[in-house]
Structure 1
Amino acid sequence: MTRGKGNRAPRWKWIAPVLALGVVLAAVHVWLNTNLVTGDAVCGGLVSTARADSVLSGGGRISDGDGPDVRPGDAVEFSCTVEASSFLPGADKGRLRISGTHERGDFAFTDGRWPSPATASFFSGPATGGVGRDHGWVLLPAGCAKAAPAIIEGYAPQGSDPTALAGLLTDVANRAAERAGCAPDRPLTAPGTLPAVPAAQKIPEDAVCGIKGLAFPGPAAGREAARQRVQGRTGPTWACEVSGHATYAVTREPRVLEAITTSPGFGEQPRIAGLRVSGFDERHVVADCSGTPTYFSMELGPTYTAALESPDTPSPKAVFADFVTTAGKNFGCSTTAP
């Protein structure tokens, strides 16, 4: 009996340190690899850690480095980088870049840093925005506009869930509007689902972009190699990209039209296809179509631009006029008397 009791003391001598080490390792794991001690928001309270985690979806601790970079005198404008880091073997570091900016109202349909509208999933209603494969935006309420409409913009890792990104950006928009004192009576609501990005397809003989009578935007010889994507066949925003040649877009989304028509530089433009139009230039315009403001835009691709010297390449003015004429028939557009 005495000898049995004597064996217990050495056993506890090594069990106690092992338990203590386990507690320390568990605490380190919680600190480095989870958000239990991070709080429920980063970037000065603008970005929910839960929402960020749903987009990054790789696990790890959500952090924001030095926090948001805020522009003095403008409560809407900021930028912030959010990271999910983990010390677990095989874990990747995920990163989000979130910002609040002021943009021209038709920014989503112009060349530059924005995804092609034919590869973006648009949503409207309680929240208005669009999400591409790694980039998205949400309009802030009209009361948040200053010199130009205000948006929340976000970049996410490729392959992120687009619906989760739309939810994150909508949540940030609500928080930013609340902070800036321009929040609406009811908060913006993110979409539960998003339309899929269309696959590229051969161009049918009788209907470029699905529009009867629309001419191919370039020399006929380039038609066979080109492919098209058509997005938004049933929603208020429609877009078509003819690879290398042109990207067309039409929207009647009320919030987007409001943003466009209240932007600096919006004004009367020369008639197009007999229509009286206003806009920013000759290829980004709004027409009155059966009483509904309707925005038309066209961006030209490098293949078309390279073929401009070819005698069978239609001019940009002719290509856009053809688009407005043929697409406009679907929206009740007609010539307005002078």
Structure 2
Amino acid sequence: MSEETSGAQPGETAVTAPAPLPEEPRPPFVRRLLRSRTARAVTAAALAGALLGAGTVAWRTDTLPLTGSSPCWDSLGSGSMESLFGDRGTVTDEQELRTDPMGDGGMYGQCRITSYEGERARRQVTVNVRRLDGLRGTDAQVWPRDFLSSGMVWLGEGLPGMTSSSRAWIALPQECTGRHDFTGPTVVDIGMGRADFEVSAEHTLRDRGALTDALIDVANGVIDAFGCSGTYRLPRELPAPVKWQDADADAFCGIKGLALPAAYRKELKESRSGGAGGPARVCEAGVSFREASVRLTTVVDPVLAEIYSWDVLRSGTPVKGSTGYGRIGGNRAVYRAICQTGQVMFVLEQLRATHERGRFTFARDLLPAYAAAEAERIGCGPLKVTLPAES
């Protein structure tokens, strides 16, 4: 398998060792030393230390043999490291883990581990500890695209998170991290390679297991670093990987009572639904598994639902309903319903314009039926949504 070198950040480029600059002849042992990744890490660590002393940055670059500690705030065990990287050499770029989130992004810390084969970077894993935002709407688009995808499954009872072969996340206990209005949970998320990139069933199971084990390692390490007690257990048994299949137009996305309008049936031929039973259920559909055109998300975890607070209050034209309220605008509709367990968010997104109509009409056409059918499925119906008149 050819592994991509990428972190959880979109658009990140492959990491390769820099080409050496022209230099004067040196003794052979010096040249070997300078070619060594360990030596480069020592140099980087020394530079980072100098900058830290000047109050400039809060990063360090280490390799395991140099420090004797585990990566990512001393949380990743040898088993997780071996599952992720095998016996390859690794370099860790680790940001200081703070007790208060930094800046508007709500970031507590970031850790990036890159493995090498010779001089070539082979795999990169990025771990973030952050508080998800709902007040400004900064985490309602990019974070769900990566970490609330249809390829993810629920971690299981008592584990508020989801996992796949390329992404995983878990919310930290609120009694440890605190509760703030209009903010989502504080999460540990971990990613490698391109989101939803799968080579084979064997690799999917292997990578998903490795990411999940690493996620629980880091989450427990962060809980301890925050001065809190308790730990998360490893999932007993994860659901089978989610597969694309022929879409059922009469029960679209596997939802009883949700019929797909005829205008969309030619283009939404295949669908995949993941996350059943967990904090969010996500369905994606398109003409084939290679190209999702629409995404339907139901977030039943009240705290996670907060990441859509800005959208449901300010993004688009108001939508009324028998229970709750929402907004619709362009290619996206968000509706907030009140259920026995607290707030629930229904989110519809059209990712590509339809070929026949050439417009973004899916969210408007499906919102009333989707909200009604999902409210019935999760036990907080009946729900009737009334759309505003088209201008």
Tell whether the structures are fold-level matches, with TM greater than 0.5. Answer: yes
The equivalent residue for 1:231 is 274
1:143-292 paired onto structure 2 within 5 Å:
143-145=176-178, 148=183, 149-157=185-193, 159=203, 161-181=207-227, 183=228, 185-216=229-260, 219-220=263-264, 222-223=266-267, 226-233=269-276, 235=278, 237-243=280-286, 244-252=292-300, 256-261=301-306, 265=310, 270-277=318-325, 283-289=333-339
SS at match of 2:74: coil
Q: In 1, distance between residues paired with 2:340 and 2:189? A: 33
Aligned partners of 2:161 and 2:169 also within 8 Å: yes
**What do the CA deviations read for 1:288-308 (whole angstroms, capped 9, x no partner)?**
24565433222212144x655
Deviation at residue 268 of structure 1 after TM alignment: 6.1
Q: In 2, distance between residues paired with 1:100 and 1:235? A: 20
SS at match of 2:298: strand
Letter in 2 for 1:188: Y
**What do the CA deviations read for 1:228-280 (whole angstroms, capped 9, x no partner)?**
1122455564221112432112233xxx3224348864876855553324799
Letter in 2 for 1:209: C
The equivalent residue for 1:68 is 95
SS at match of 1:257: coil
Q: In 2, distance between residues paired with 1:280 and 1:141? A: 32
Q: In 2, distance between residues paired with 1:111 and 1:94? A: 22
Residues 274/198 of structure 1: CA separation in 2 closer, same or farther (3 Å cut): same
Residues 291/74 of structure 1: CA separation in 2 closer, same or farther (3 Å cut): closer
The equivalent residue for 1:11 is none
1:1-338 paired onto structure 2 within 5 Å:
39-56=68-85, 58-65=86-93, 67-68=94-95, 74=101, 77-85=108-116, 93-104=122-133, 110=141, 113-115=145-147, 117-142=149-174, 143-145=176-178, 148=183, 149-157=185-193, 159=203, 161-181=207-227, 183=228, 185-216=229-260, 219-220=263-264, 222-223=266-267, 226-233=269-276, 235=278, 237-243=280-286, 244-252=292-300, 256-261=301-306, 265=310, 270-277=318-325, 283-289=333-339, 293-304=343-354, 309=358, 314=361, 316-332=363-379, 333-335=381-383
Letter in 1 for 2:352: P
Deviation at residue 172 of structure 1 after TM alignment: 1.0
SS at match of 1:103: strand
Q: In 1, distance between residues paired with 2:84 and 2:364? A: 42
In structure 2, stretches of 5+ residues that fail to align are 1-35, 37-62, 198-202, 287-291, 385-391
TM-score by length of 1: 0.69
Residues 280/141 of structure 1: CA separation in 2 closer, same or farther (3 Å cut): farther
TM-score by length of 2: 0.61
Letter in 1 for 2:170: V
How many equivalent pairs are there?
Answer: 294
- Which is further off, 326-335 or 166-175? 326-335
Aligned partners of 1:42 and 1:49 also within 8 Å: no
The equivalent residue for 2:45 is none
SS at match of 2:219: helix
Q: Whose radius of gyration is greater, 1 or 2?
A: 1
Letter in 2 for 1:64: T
In structure 1, stretches of 5+ residues that fail to align are 1-27, 29-33
Q: In 2, distance between residues paired with 1:280 and 1:175? A: 41
Letter in 1 for 2:217: D
Letter in 1 for 2:211: L
Q: In 1, distance between residues paired with 2:97 and 2:276? A: 39
SS at match of 1:325: helix
Deviation at residue 214 of structure 1 after TM alignment: 1.7
Q: In 2, distance between residues paired with 1:176 and 1:53? A: 21
SS at match of 1:326: helix
Q: In 2, distance between residues paired with 1:292 and 1:229? A: 27
Deviation at residue 61 of structure 1 after TM alignment: 3.6
Q: In 1, distance between residues paired with 2:337 and 2:242? A: 27
Residues 99/171 of structure 1: CA separation in 2 closer, same or farther (3 Å cut): same
Aligned partners of 1:98 and 1:155 also within 8 Å: yes
Letter in 2 for 1:82: I
Letter in 1 for 2:114: E
What is the percentage of aligned positions where both structures have the same residue? 18
